[in-house]
Amino acid sequence: MTSRTSRKQTVANLLRVIAPLCIMVACLVTLAGHADLPGLPELITLVRQVPLPDWIGAFGATVLSFWALGRYDAVAHRHLRTNFDAPVARRAGMASIAFSQAVGFGLLSGSFARWRLLSPLSPLQSAQLTAFVGITFMTALSVICGLSLLLIAPSLALRGLGLGILILATLACTLCFLHPEWRLRGLRLRPPSLQAILALMLWTLMDVGFAGIALWFLLPSGHGIELAALLPAYFLALGLAIISSSPGGAGPLELAMLALLPGAEPAALVAGLLAFRLVYYAIPAALAGALLLWPSLMRQGLAAEPEDEEDLLGSDVRPAASQPFDRPQAETGVILQNGGHVMAFGLNQVAMLDTPQISAVLFDPISGRRPEIPDALNRHARARNAAACLYKCSARLAIAARQQGWKVLRIAQDAILDPSEFSDKGSSFRQLRRKLRNAEKAGLRVEPAWSTLPLHDMAEVDHAWTRQHGCARGTTMGQFEPGYVAIQMTFLAWQEERLIGFITFHRAADEWCLDLMRQLPGAPDGTCHALLRAAIETARDAGVTRLSLAAVPDHRFAHRFDRGLRQFKSCFAPSWQPRYIAAPTWPQLALALAEMIRLVHRPARPEIEMPQPDMTMRAPHVELDENAVAGKRSA
């Protein structure tokens, strides 16, 4: 660092310290010059007029305000994944905010307090946590101020300003949902989830609301200020005080309150603020100072808190490739491509997809007891500020979730065949037989790919298919890429020496599940029917007892989507089995549906890399290196 740069940094640091003090002095001078205020003895006399029940009410409101602040910090810890226990995070948050609001210089004092109280936390992590709390708190406070202006502002212009703030907040939430990761000059920024945003808004509203109530309790008798008028003024004044970073907000808070409440008696308002500083600033700051001197006091009495109960099941994150070949549902193989993983809750293993908004268990458990899944999943999701979700689960798992109070909705039907009993004889298969005859007349040759895959030809078919149908959906449906299809069972349709189409299946010990279906535009009628018919015969010869044609939508608007897909699968007269989505509450269920729709229709696109014309197929029961599947990526 050059000497010139060093001097600039020194000047910047000095300004950070001097500017808040200058703002405080300027506001206090302005206040003394323009408000007819009595001396300090008269103000103390007014403070003594506050009755004892009002002091008790103010202390109670202060406790509730700091309780909300502790919850706020716990949400921030979960977002930044600091791995601190919630009770410890809450206590550190309350103490840090009490200390920083009293001494001012919010970023510096708050970061120091958190670093002091949470010893494993690095100075950088402390600064990140304090910055996150400060930025999100001011954002939430601005929304509260906008709502206050919209509801009670005296002029149309101010109400328009409040409406504009709320519209901007709604657009920002929509942007956070649609773009859960932002890149800025090489930095990856991750905005809070919608669950976290709603929690932060709730705790902010409780904090500033109870703080305003504490101030209202401490106004001298006969002040004549309505609580409905005081609260919006306090919200706006608090925002200005926080921006100033002056110690205790002294100066800007008083000046703003007098300006926003012109009909109030200045002496009564300033006396109330003086008492408020004692109750809401001085006493919490003294308690925070004791914790800063003796940080070991932070953990006193925490063993008795209910949130600290031991998770008897425990949890363990395992790579997607660790799922066993001998598993009940082959479709869980999709997590090899969508960024999912195997999560073990005790002895219960599930295919898990952690996204910015939800923690979803896909399909039924890989192993274990169904009734133990919902509660363990809910704890896991809460630790991520996410919604818990069971997606496309069976009726048995849905019933287990409903018995624990979860909300359940049927969303799909899975088409199931038994290869050993399948026959295309009878009137139910009239359309299938016609399609198969058309494919046979066109000279179509269908065969399984037992050894190598013609990847270049398959890529051309996939590219032509996506040009005709648009980008392939993903997340719970596969996308073409070499490393992914190499561990699947593939069937190829040839017309002379030209590849016309192919289908692939996830494989497990006793089940195959249809994944990709691709054919060239203008392919002979019945191409996919012939491919699937050949797959059924091969599955029967291989001793596979269950073949899934995958799910189709099954809800009120299902007839508008994938009508052709349902018609295609109906040609094989499958057994239709319902599939459900479940979540602890209806809002979480709605959020889970919205997130899954976003992920299915806007998946991360795999990069197709084909180092060789053909690729040897890989046995699905061999544990794979995660890097072998090119599509392994974050959801």
Largest CA distance in the chain: 106
Provide DSSP, 388-436: EEEEEE-HHHHHHHHHTT-EEEEEEEEEEE-GGG----SGGGHHHHHHH
Find the mean pLDDT for residues 431-450. 85
Cα–Cα dist 434/428, whole Å: 12
Q: Which of 20-34, 492-506, 562-576 has the lowest mean pLDDT?
A: 20-34
Q: Are 570 and 411 in contact (CB under 8 A)?
A: no
Q: What percent of the chain has pLDDT over 90?
A: 15
Cα–Cα dist 334/259, whole Å: 61
Find the mean pLDDT for residues 30-43. 61
Instruction: Return the structure tokens found at 610.
Output: 């084909």
pLDDT of residue 305: 46
Q: Where are the beta strands (DSSP E) in 441-562?
A: 444-448, 452-454, 489-495, 498-507, 511-519, 546-553
Check pLDDT > 50 for residue 163.
Answer: yes
| Residue entry with tokens 């009755």 | 51
Find the mean pLDDT for residues 598-606. 75
- Per-residue model confidence as pLDDT tens digits over 378-397: 999 988 889 999 999 999 99
Find the mean pLDDT for residues 283-311. 70
Which position has the higher pLDDT, 213 or 483? 213
At 557, the pLDDT band (50, 70, 90 cuts) reads low
Instruction: Return the structure tokens found at 283.
Output: 């006493």
Cα–Cα dist 391/335, whole Å: 13
- Nearest-CA neighbor of 504 among 493, 524, 572, 444? 493
At 67, the pLDDT band (50, 70, 90 cuts) reads very high
pLDDT of residue 622: 42
Check pLDDT > 50 for residue 564.
Answer: yes
φ/ψ region of 346 (left if φ > 0, alpha if ψ in -120 to 50, else beta) reads left
At 572, the pLDDT band (50, 70, 90 cuts) reads confident
Strands 489-495 and 498-507: antiparallel
Find the mean pLDDT for residues 234-249. 74
Cα–Cα dist 132/50, whole Å: 37
H or E element: which one contains 478? none
- In the beta sheet, which residues pair with residue 417? 547
Cα–Cα dist 37/26, whole Å: 17
Cα–Cα dist 287/102, whole Å: 12
Amino acid in position 272: G
Check pLDDT > 90 for residue 206.
Answer: yes
At 306, the pLDDT band (50, 70, 90 cuts) reads very low
Check pLDDT > 70 for residue 627.
Answer: no
- Per-residue model confidence as pLDDT tens digits over 268-289: 888 888 888 889 888 998 888 8
Cα–Cα dist 177/598, whole Å: 9
Instruction: Return the structure tokens found at 139.
Output: 């954002």
- In the beta sheet, which residues pair with residue 345? 348
Q: Mean pLDDT highest for which of 29-43, 291-305, 307-321, 449-463?
A: 449-463
**Burial annotation 382-413 (CB, 10 A radius, 16+ → b, else e):** bebbbbbbbbbbbeebbebbeeeebbbeebbb
H or E element: which one contains 147? helix 123-152
Provide DSSP, 265-319: -HHHHHHHHHHHIIIIIIHHHHHHHHHHH-GGGGGTTGGG-GGG---SS--EEE-
Provide DSSP, 17-78: HHHHHHHHHHHHHHHHHHS----HHHHHHHHHTS-HHHHHHHHHHHHHHHHHHHHHHHHHHH
Q: Are 626 and 320 in contact (CB under 8 A)?
A: yes
Check pLDDT > 90 for residue 84.
Answer: no
Check pLDDT > 90 for residue 573.
Answer: no
Which position has the higher pLDDT, 214 or 312? 214
- Nearest-CA neighbor of 565 among 350, 433, 413, 429? 413
pLDDT of residue 502: 92
pLDDT of residue 610: 46
Average predicted confidence (pLDDT) for the chain? 80
* φ and ψ of 38, to 5 deg: -75, 175
| Residue entry with tokens 């496309």 | 392
Which position has the higher pLDDT, 581 or 443? 581
Instruction: Tell me if residue 552 falls in helix, strand or coil.
Output: strand
Q: Are 264 and 246 in contact (CB under 8 A)?
A: no
Cα–Cα dist 28/46, whole Å: 20
pLDDT of residue 185: 72
- In the beta sheet, which residues pair with residue 513? 506, 548
pLDDT of residue 632: 43
